[in-house]
């Protein structure tokens, strides 16, 4: 799994979140919603200390990751994190690995 963060999304995360040293932005599958690969689940995010990351990327000093507990959600896909200008929040896309 590869995680890609667009410049617009990165700007949003830097402006909206406070990420202490040693922490990162974790992406995970959460109940309710819909993605292009899962009905009934959407992408959640939180600021956490990585425990067992299955994928990570650091952009301008900010860590983004997915943890082993959510491998089922991301298995076989790469995650693109972009910014939705209309909603003013991140949006998520998936491509097959």
Q: What is the pLDDT of residues 49-90, one digit of tens each?
A: 999 999 999 999 999 999 999 998 899 999 999 999 999 999
Which residues, at least 6 apart from 40, have a Cβ–Cβ distance to it below 8 Å?
A: 31, 32, 33, 34
> Is 45 among the domain residues?
yes
**Tens digit of each residue's pLDDT (9 = 90 or more) over 33-50:** 556 566 556 788 999 999
Provide the domain limits for residue 53: 3-82
Asked whether residue 97 is assigned to any structural domain, the reply reads: no
**How many domains are contained in the chain?**
1
Question: Does residue 89 form part of some domain?
Answer: no
Q: Considering the domain boundaries, does residue 66 fall inside one?
A: yes
For residue 54, the domain's CATH number is 2.60.300
95 assigned to some structural domain:
no
Q: How many angstroms separate the Cα of 81 from the Cα of each of 29, 54?
A: 14, 17
Does this model's pTM top 0.85? My answer is: yes
In a domain, 90, yes or no: no
């Amino acid at each position: 799994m590869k995680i890609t963060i667009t410049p617009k999304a990165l700007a949003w995360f830097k402006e909206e979140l406070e990420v202490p040293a040693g922490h990162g932005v974790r992406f995970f599958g959460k109940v309710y919603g819909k993605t292009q690969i899962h009905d009934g689940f959407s992408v959640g995010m939180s600021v956490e200390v990585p425990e067992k990351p299955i994928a990570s990327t650091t952009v301008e000093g900010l860590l983004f990751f997915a943890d082993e507990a959510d491998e089922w959600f991301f298995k076989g896909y790469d995650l693109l994190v972009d910014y939705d200008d209309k909603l003013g929040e991140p949006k998520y896309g998936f491509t097959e690995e």
